[in-house]
Amino acid sequence: MLYPPEMRVLDAAREQVRALHGDPNHTVAAAAMDITGRIHTAVKDYHFTGGPCAELVVLGVAAAAASGPLVTIVAVGDGDRDVIAPCGRCRQVLLDQHPDCDVIIPDGDELRLVNVRSLLPHSYRHPDAQPERFVRFSARYFEAVRDGVKTATTRLNDPCAPGPAWLLFEFDDEYRRLPGWIDSVVSKRFDEISDDDARSEGCERADELRAGLRGHYPAITDADTVEVVRFHTTGVTG
């Protein structure tokens, strides 16, 4: 299921690929949304000596616009191919430079949104990439995080790292963000979540937090490992 922000990215890529008019050197379009909600588009530049894929070109376009980290990316092929998955090189570049980015990919007759990490489960990491990081939140948590009521988040298969990170809130019609700092990341079993963890998320008891997480992760089990991420805001951007 794609939500309105992802649909805007997809629509931009489809519009760009329709504008190619059968040019054999430019057969794929890509669109990417940055952390401010701006959408950048680009096209593949084929040449027999080698040429960059549309995803790599759009990374350059976004960087030239001082975009910061990218939130969502998609590639669309011409000739009614619609959404195509990124090649191996594009996956590795995305992982190194935008490790929190989600990718729209085909899944049978449906479209699916996956994090780039899941496309390269046994990859290496470029140690000098030093990408900007961000942590996604539902829009309903914006005020609680801004006001310091919610100072933790519990994640499943969504790695975070200590240090600076944008706290990104995904409203249907816009993104809002707060500059933040990840203080600690602690791994524990789902059934070991404590009342203290719950209070940091604005809940009263661990059972209340676990119930909420089951709603977000329906397949989670007591034996699954989650990460309790503690953070604080360092200012207000909006």
Residue 116 DSSP SS3: helix
Q: Rounded to an integer, what distance in angstroms lies between the CA atom of residue 70 and that of residue 102?
A: 8
pLDDT category at 126 given cuts 50, 70, 90 is confident
Contact 198, 211 (CB under 8 A): no
Q: Rounded to an integer, what distance in angstroms lies between the CA atom of residue 123 and that of residue 117?
A: 9
Give the CA count within 13 Å in the CB-facing half-sphere of 159.
9
**Of residues 55, 110, 132, 174, which has the active-site annotation?**
55
Task: Reply yes or no on whether 170 is catalytic.
Answer: no
Q: What is the pLDDT of residue 82?
A: 96
Directed axis angle between helix 54-64 and helix 88-97, to 10°?
A: 30
Residue 219 DSSP SS3: coil
- CA-nearest of 75, 225, 236 to 145 is 236
**pLDDT tens digit sequence for 48-74:** 888 899 999 999 999 999 999 999 999
Q: What is the pLDDT of residue 206?
A: 95
The reported pTM is 0.90
State the first-to-last Cα distance of the chain, in angstroms, to the nearest integer.
27
User: What percent of the chain lies above the pLDDT cut of 90?
Assistant: 82
Contact 231, 164 (CB under 8 A): no
Q: What is the pLDDT of residue 11?
A: 98
Enclosing H/E stretch for 111: strand 110-115
Q: Rounded to an integer, what distance in angstroms lies between the CA atom of residue 37 and that of residue 35?
A: 5
**pLDDT tens digit sequence for 109-124:** 999 999 999 999 888 8
**pLDDT tens digit sequence for 81-99:** 999 999 999 999 999 999 9
For residue 115, give every residue at least 6 positions away whose Cβ sits within 8 Å of its Cβ, in sequence order, or none: 100, 101, 102, 103, 158
Q: What is the pLDDT of residue 238?
A: 64
